[in-house]
């Protein structure tokens, strides 16, 4: 699905700062994700974003092996997800509502 540069620009003009969850799937279909607050626009055409991920994160190897990832921007009432997705060694998707994006990566509902 193509995204127009005008849509990318409009989004980044409104998203000044915030907390996101970046997600992907393993080759076996297991969802992986982490909290990212270093997220910004790099290019409008093609639409590129920057999400800073520490090498020590459990999601790091899966994100960099994957062809696709998703970015879920959290609403103010989703603050509890920050603790869940920043806790190492747990199933971060247990009890969390999510659905697959068109390319397959998990998108946090809400």
Is pLDDT at 58 greater than 90 in this prediction?
no
**Per-domain residue ranges for the chain?**
5-88
Distance CA 84, CA 46 (A): 32
Class in CATH terms, 5-88: mainly beta
32 — pLDDT class (breaks 50, 70, 90): very high
Q: Which tokens is 99 given?
A: 């659905």
Question: What would the mean pLDDT of 28-53 be, rounded to a whole number?
Answer: 87
Question: What would the mean pLDDT of 11-40 be, rounded to a whole number?
Answer: 83
Distance CA 62, CA 60 (A): 6
Query: What is the pTM for the complete model shown?
Result: 0.79
CA–CA distances in Å: residue 32 to residues 24, 25, 63, 73, 91: 5, 6, 8, 16, 9
Coarse DSSP helix, strand, coil percentages of the chain, rounded to the nearest 5 percent: 25, 30, 50
């Amino acid at each position: 699905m193509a995204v127009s540069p005008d849509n990318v620009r409009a989004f980044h003009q409104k998203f000044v700062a915030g907390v996101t969850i970046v997600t992907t799937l393993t080759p076996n279909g297991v969802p992986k994700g982490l909290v990212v607050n270093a997220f910004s626009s790099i290019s409008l055409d093609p639409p590129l974003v920057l999400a800073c991920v520490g090498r020590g994160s459990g999601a790091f190897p899966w994100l960099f092996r994957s062809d696709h990832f998703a970015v879920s921007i959290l609403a103010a009432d989703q603050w509890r997800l920050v603790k869940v997705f920043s806790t190492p060694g747990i199933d971060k998707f247990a009890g969390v509502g999510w659905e697959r994006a068109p390319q397959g990566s998990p998108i946090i509902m809400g």
